Chains A and B, each alone.
Chain A
């Protein structure tokens, strides 16, 4: 059983479309992080959300932390081919171990 479940697992969309990726857990997190990983490379940190209900924007990417700090979402507006990659949420609910989500593999078709 994964502590952080992401959905969808795979997503293939046309350039210019919008999409939302979800990260859900039954545990409470003091913060959640979102990473993007390209093939053959390590994940790159996109954002950290800390406060319940917080919304952070990074250009066309909007990140939201749930009020109860158990879930988060990533919304991409007008997707571009450069957004293609594996999106991972991650957090440490216990202070002892960092957990990564199951991942969402996004393919943006030109």
Chain B
């Protein structure tokens, strides 16, 4: 069974640009979570989608947004990139909101 996949694996952008990250959950999983992990730091919760709806968002500005598609894949959009947005962005999926989360390999975003 395929795990959680994310694309792209690496991305380099400049300040002010916009970026879209993609995530495909494990087949059958309806919940998708996005996390930001700055270098050397823990995971910070960004967004949670379940059944196509945004269920919760972490303490991030509105320029961080996303959506979940009918096939449960998800996108994370970040507008007006800032240097401190440089981080590993991790996507996880779970069978439902109460189940264990399985992570993708992440997208490494560098903002110059």
User: Footprint of B on A, CB under 8 Å?
Assistant: 2, 33, 35, 40-45, 48, 88, 90, 92, 95-103
Given contacts A96-B55, A98-B33, contact A103 B42 (CB under 8 A): yes
Chain B 83-94 interface 0/1 with A at a Cβ cutoff of 8 Å (1 = within): 000001010100
A/B interface sample: 7 pairs, CB < 8 A: A33-B100, A42-B106, A98-B33, A100-B35, A100-B42, A100-B43, A102-B42
Measured as residues with beta carbon below 8 angstroms from the partner, the interface class of chain B is 20 to 34
Contact B105 A42 (CB under 8 A): yes
Considering residues A42, A95, A102, which has the most beta carbons from chain B within 10 angstroms of its beta carbon?
A42
Q: Does B25 reach chain A (CB closer than 8 Å)?
A: no
Residues on A with C-beta less than 8 A from B106 are 40-42
Within 8 Å by CB of A43, from B55, B90, B98, lies: B90
User: Footprint of A on B, CB under 8 Å?
Assistant: 4, 33, 35, 41-43, 45, 48, 55-56, 58, 88, 90, 92, 97-98, 100-106, 108
Within 8 Å by CB of A95, from B58, B90, B98, B103, lies: B98
Residues on B with C-beta less than 8 A from A43 are 43, 90, 103
Residues on A with C-beta less than 8 A from B88 are 40
Residues on B with C-beta less than 8 A from A92 are 97-98
Residues on A with C-beta less than 8 A from B105 are 40-42
Within 8 Å by CB of B45, from A45, A48, A97, A102, lies: A97
Contact A101 B56 (CB under 8 A): no
Q: How far is the CA of A103 from the CA of B88 in the complex (A)?
A: 15
Contact A88 B43 (CB under 8 A): yes
Q: Which 7 A-B pairs have the closest CB atoms?
A: A42-B103, A100-B43, A103-B42, A43-B103, A102-B42, A42-B90, A96-B56
